[in-house]
Amino acid sequence: MALALGVLMVGLVLGVFAMLYGTERRVRAGAPSGPKPHERTSVHDAAAEPSPLFNIASIGAFSVGFGLTGYWVARHSGWPMAIQVVVAALAGATAMALQSLLIARWAIPGARAEHMDERYLLQGTLARIVRDVPEGGNGVLHYELDGQACDLPARDIEGAAIPAGTDVVIDRVEAGVATVELWARVEARL
């Protein structure tokens, strides 16, 4: 019974971890090079796809299925320990198979088909105005993302002037120009 509860707890922890951090493979990025964050596209990265069968969520599903069934069988049956473990393992394998089917038939195809509007890839990124934005015109902002420091032309979302040193939030980037809103305005809405 203690084994089943221990495996159940491991499964719950793995399930929470998968919910918070996802199941995608971590693709090792080299030194920051290539396009700046505002020049990137939202192309699907096949190298980051999880294995449908062997990933954190599927292992968590196995552990939860094994743990719940193992606990129930140990508590409510008089079966020998070997049979209890086999029944729990079969239940865990079934839970893992269902989780793997869910990932293979729904999650991975959904990620492949998703198309992000590239104007909004930086939406919500905090930045600072480094050259005044005149009323109705463009200034320059500075932001850091993924270890890269970037400067980008900027204009206010309402066309107002923004002095240098003001914190802003990027709304979208169109034709290489960021449309921004004052952080103070965004903060007031939160």
Partners of 152 in the beta sheet? 141
Instruction: Delimit the domains of the chain by residue range.
Output: 2-116, 119-189
130 three-state secondary structure: strand
Top pLDDT among 182 and 34 is at 182
Residues in the chain: 190
- With 70 as the cut, is the pLDDT of residue 121 above it? yes
pLDDT tens-place string over residues 130-166: 999 999 999 999 999 878 889 999 999 999 999 999 9
Q: Which amino acid is present at 62?
A: F
- With 50 as the cut, is the pLDDT of residue 31 above it? no
Structure tokens at 111: 């990620």
pLDDT given at position 38: 64
The superfamily (CATH) of domain 119-189 is Nucleic acid-binding proteins (2.40.50.140)
Top pLDDT among 154 and 116 is at 154
pLDDT tens-place string over residues 39-91: 655 566 677 777 888 889 999 999 999 999 999 999 999 899 999 999 999 99
Top pLDDT among 31 and 39 is at 39
Question: CA-CA distances (angstroms) from residue 75 to 2, 7, 18, 64, 146?
Answer: 11, 16, 29, 16, 51
Instruction: Give the mean model confidence (pLDDT) for residues 92-120.
Output: 86
User: Distance between CA 137 and CA 60 in Å, rounded?
Assistant: 53
